[in-house]
Structure 1
Amino acid sequence: MSDLKDEKTVGLAAERKYKPVRRIVTGEDSQGRSMIVTDGPTPNVTITSFASVAQVPWATGLAAAPGDDPAPAGHSFGFHSEGGSLLRIADFPPDEEIDTARLAEFLAKNEVLGERPGRHFWFHKTHSLDYAIVLEGEIFAMMDNGETLMRAGDVLIQRATSHSWSNRSGKPCRMAFVLLALPDGES
Structure 2
Amino acid sequence: MEKKFRCIVTERGENGKSFISEDREVGVGPLGIIDFWETEEMPASLHGKNLLPGKPTRLEASTHGTLFRFFEIPPFQKNLSPEEAEKQAAEVFASVQASHCRVDTRLNPMMHTTRTIDYVVLLKGEVTLLLDKSEVKLKPFDVVVQRGTNHYWINYNTEPALLMGVLLDAK
**Which TM bucket (shorter chain)?**
0.7 to 0.9
Q: Distance in 2 between matches of 1:132 and 1:180?
A: 11
Structure 1 runs (4+) greater than 6 angstroms displaced = none
- 2:115 pairs with 1:127: yes
Name the count of aligned residue pairs. Answer: 157
Could you tell me which residue of structure 1 aligns to residue 34 of structure 2?
Answer: 55
Q: TM-score, normalised by structure 2?
A: 0.81
Give structure 2 stretches of 5+ with no counterpart. Answer: 42-47
C-alpha contact (below 8 Å) 1:122/1:166 kept by paired residues? no
Cα pair distance change 1:162/1:106, threshold 3 Å: same
Matched, 1:37 2:21: yes
Which stretch shifts more, 88-97 or 153-162? Answer: 88-97
Q: Runs of 5+ in structure 1 lacking a partner?
A: 1-13
Partner of 1:104: 90
Superposition deviation, residue 103 in structure 1: 2.1
Q: What is the CA RMSD across the aligned residues, in angstroms?
A: 2.4
Among 68, 71, 87, the residue aligned to 1:87: 68
Other-structure match for 2:11: 27
Q: Percent identity?
A: 28
Report how far residue 170 of structure 1 moved: 1.3
Q: Distance in 2 between matches of 1:168 and 1:93?
A: 9
Q: Which letter does structure 2 place at the counterpart of 1:60?
A: T
How far does residue 38 in structure 1 lie from its aligned partner after superposition? 1.8
